[in-house]
Homo-oligomer: A and B are copies of this chain.
Amino acid sequence: MNTRQRLEAMRARQPAPAGMAMRAAPAASTLPSWPQRVSFCPPGMQERGGECVSSACAPQAHPLIDVARNAELADYERTVRARFDAIVPALKEIAAQQHEAGFEQRAQQIARERLGFELPETVLADAWVTTLDMRKLYGHSVLQTYHTLAREYSARWNGHAEADAMQRFFVECGFHEVDISPCADGRLKGLLQFVLRLPLQAVRRKSYAGAMFDVELNVKHWTETELRRFREGVPTLSDAGTRYLKVAVYHFSSSDPHHEGCAAHGSDDRQAAQAALDRLAAFRTAIENGFCCGASVATLLIGVDTDNDAIKIHVPDANGEMDTACFVDNLAVYRQTAGMAASEARWRLGAAIDEAVRETGRSAPETGMRSLIERLLTNNLSQIDYVCANHGGRYADVGHAERFINLGDSFDVLHLRNLAYFGHLHTIEEGAADVDVGIKIFSKLNVTHGLPVPIAIHFRYDEQVPGSRERAVARCRRIKAAIETRYPALCKEGLLFCGMTVQGKAPGSAQEEVSDIDTNSHGH
């Protein structure tokens, strides 16, 4: 049995029970519902105990990692993946019984038991006419799985205390707001919870294809934040000397740099980094030129290796300027510090920042920025270790393997690598580039297999603004109509499945499903 055969045999096993330590491939169901890259041990990985393990993976636990949190996240990842992986087998079983007596009751029973929710009655009832509309059932099941999981986890995880602590730390570093724009790519969907280990409520996030965030919209958010400081002294007083920090996050693939990097930048790492850097500079200039009295913002550029979640942080100089060539490679820090005592490892991590600065002949960052960088690097060490422990140091799904597309506002629970492609937008007219990339990804992932593209349209509304909910609902429907107009061929074949939800802005608000205006015109 060669390594590859062993790996496949491993994959065929049942998911390990929650809490069990795993140093192997991700918990995979017997019938994965989306294409998986069957990997062999590529350069930079080595066979160990029948598995491919990255040669960067430390043989023992790293001194700075959060072991408890890693176990919790592993359990979470397994649960979420298993729930999505259950969809195709369950639907196959249902499909096989569609011409039997009592089919509808039996189908709902299978769905309840194996998926945790019911299927749309009308689809089941109409099966006898021609055949069961599996596309509709699949689209429905993917989005329902998400919503069911979101409900479970939002009740279970209440990260407000953690978020408050993190925000206090940001303020200590000199930042009263941290606003992150990653690429829309689904491989960055775990950025906050996994890669950077930041509580979701502690930062603002808006994803765009290629991390090409909207400068004007960001100026608006800056304005809102500053006004709250002046009017309410929240989160800091207007004279506190703290700043708004804008972070752009690009990505690359170390094992397949020319194919699995950022599609929006032609899988060219340098171009992806430079474009994000230029956009950050444009935002900073917009604030500095547009507002008087020394208005400015801090900026930070981070790169993520989507193969293993290791980050590069580009170190700003004393003036806040960055360069694509001046960064700390956290995978190198992980390797260097793996065998050390915690205090020594911490010193080494700080030294890596100094070295990056010295090697490129630049000035050192401000103290607060330096503290933030140290925290992010330390947090990310836990994630590098997590990928070593749970994914052999490199994800099996190096490329795209998203389950659905999320358009509009971001969901505030359930973040996980390759869970969803997320495009932040208010209209398809302006967000078309982001949606096109998403549809292209899912054409390969789903449409080639006859499966529809599940699209979750989601908007937040302000309960305190009259008509805000109605406008969010109208926006959902308008976006859905615009998608169906933009991709008529997919729409006609039933290869688009759009779900719509709105949610109040107040913490703890539930997601509310939005129906089509005329349920008869839903048709796929």
Contact = CB atoms under 8 A, between A and B. Distances in A.
A295 B430 CA distance: 33
- Tallying the copies of this chain within the complex gives 2
B430 A465 contact: no
A282 interface: yes
Interface in A263-319: 281-282, 285-286, 289-293, 295
A349 to B, nearest CB: 34
Nearest to A226: B227
Contacts of A466: 215, 281-282, 285-286
A285 B426 CA distance: 23
A428 B227 CA distance: 31
Contacts of A467: 215, 282
B429 A290 contact: no
Interface string A375-413: 000000000000000000000000000000000000000
Interface in A425-463: 426-430, 462
A468 B216 contact: yes
B429 A231 contact: no
Given A220-B220, A227-B230, A295-B231, A289 B429 contact: no
B232 A230 contact: no
Interface string A234-255: 0000100000000000000000
A482 B429 contact: yes
A232 B429 contact: no
A97 to B, nearest CB: 43
A219 to B, nearest CB: 7
Contact of A231 (B292, B428, B468): B292
Nearest to A478: B429
Contact of A471 (B216, B224, B238, B468): B216
A295 to B, nearest CB: 7
Contact of A430 (B230, B285, B291, B427): B427
A148 interface: no
A27 B466 CA distance: 47
A408 to B, nearest CB: 13
Interface in A446-497: 462, 464-468, 471, 478, 482
A464 B286 CA distance: 6
A223 interface: yes
Interface in A83-100: none
A286 B465 contact: yes
A286 B468 CA distance: 9
A220 B289 CA distance: 19
A462 B283 CA distance: 12
> Most chain-B CB neighbours within 10 Å: which of A224, A429, A462, A465?
A429
Contacts of A291: 227, 231-232
A236 to B, nearest CB: 14
A223 B223 CA distance: 7
Nearest to A461: B216
Contacts of A230: 226-227, 230-231, 238
Given A231-B226, A291-B231, A429-B427, A465 B285 contact: yes
Nearest to A430: B427
Nearest to A462: B290
A232 B226 CA distance: 13
A228 to B, nearest CB: 8
A473 to B, nearest CB: 14
A430 to B, nearest CB: 6
A281 B465 CA distance: 10
A427 to B, nearest CB: 4
Given A282-B466, A286-B462, A429-B482, 7 more contacts: A215-B467, A231-B292, A232-B293, A286-B464, A290-B464, A290-B465, A427-B427
User: Which 3 pairs of residues, A with B, have the shortest CB-CB distance?
Assistant: A289-B464, A230-B230, A282-B466
Interface of A: 215-216, 219-220, 223-224, 226-227, 230-232, 238, 281-282, 285-286, 289-293, 295, 426-430, 462, 464-468, 471, 478, 482
